[in-house]
Amino acid sequence: MNLTSRTKLRRRPDRGSYDSASIHAILDDGFLAHVGFNMNGQPFVIPTLYGRDPNESKLYLHGSAASRMLRELESGIPACLTVTLVDGIVLARSAFHHSMNYRSVVAFGTARKIEDPAHKAKALQTISEHLMRGRWAEVRGPNDAELKATSVLEFSLEEASAKIRTGPPVDDEKDYDLSVWAGVLPIFTVTGQPVPDPRMNNGHQAPEYISAAFKKRC
C-alpha cells in the first residue's frame, strides 16, 4: 500500500503497518466493516458486511438498491472504511495504562458501482464465500430480479494502514511492585452449534463446511 498523509500513523507509529500482507490478513479474518461518509454536512457511520477476493486489493459491499449509504457511495464521495478485531482486554496495574490488544485497518477511497450482471454476481459470490466458504455452490443463486434489487460496490484499497497491539500491559516502572493482578483477558469470536431452520423438512444435516467452521472456531 502507498503511505500517504491520510494513512500515516501519528500516534504510536510503532504499531502501524502499511504492507499489503498485514492489511489483507486483518481483512480476511474479519467480515464486518464500518463505513464513514458525509452527506449534506451530516456524518454517518454504517456497519456492513464485506468480502475480499484473495487475489485483489479491493473490497465488495452490497445491499438494497434503495440503501442510502450505497446510493451516496456510488456517487463517488470520499469514504473511510474501518475494520477492527479485538483480541484481548489489557489489564494494567494502573487505570491509566489499561488498554486492548487489537488488529485494525483504516482505508480511504471512493467506491464504484458494479453494473455488469455477471460481475455483480461474481462480487456477491466473493462476499458469500468470505463469510462462509462453500455456501455459494450449494444455494440458489440470485435471479435477474434479485440482482436488479441489489446494489454492489467495489472499494479499492489504495490508501490503507493497519494498526496492531499485542502483548502484556506496560506499566510505570514504580507500579510493578503493586499488589495488583495484571495481564490480558483474551477475547475470541467463536461460532456456536448450528441451529436448523424450524421449516427444514427434508432431514438434511448441516453440511460439512458449516460443521467444519463450528469445529474450527471453538
Question: How confident is the model over 159-210, as pLDDT tens digits?
Answer: 899 999 999 999 999 999 999 999 999 999 888 888 888 888 777 888 888 8
- Find the largest Cα–Cα distance for the chain: 68
The arithmetic mean of pLDDT across residues 102-119, rounded, is: 94
Residue 28: closest CA among 65, 59, 62, 63: 59
The arithmetic mean of pLDDT across residues 74-89, rounded, is: 94
The arithmetic mean of pLDDT across residues 43-59, rounded, is: 91
- Walk me through the domains of the chain, giving residue ranges and CATH numbers: 13-85+101-167 (2.30.110.10), 188-218 (no CATH)
Residue-wise pLDDT for 5-48, tens only, equals 676 666 776 676 778 899 999 999 999 999 999 988 999 999 99
And the C-alpha cell for 121?
454476481
CB distance 150 to 192 below 8 Å = no
Counting residues of the chain whose pLDDT is more than 90, the rounded percentage is 68
The arithmetic mean of pLDDT across residues 107-121, rounded, is: 93
Q: pTM to 2 decimals? A: 0.88
And the C-alpha cell for 61?
459491499
pLDDT at residue 126 in the model: 96
Q: Is 90 exceeded by the pLDDT of residue 57? A: no
The arithmetic mean of pLDDT across residues 50-55, rounded, is: 90
**Burial degree of 158 (CB within 10 A; 0-12, 13-18, 19+):** middle
pLDDT at residue 99 in the model: 96
pLDDT at residue 52 in the model: 93
Q: Is 80 exceeded by the pLDDT of residue 117? A: yes
Q: Is 50 exceeded by the pLDDT of residue 218? A: no
CB distance 152 to 58 below 8 Å = no
Counting residues of the chain whose pLDDT is more than 70, the rounded percentage is 93
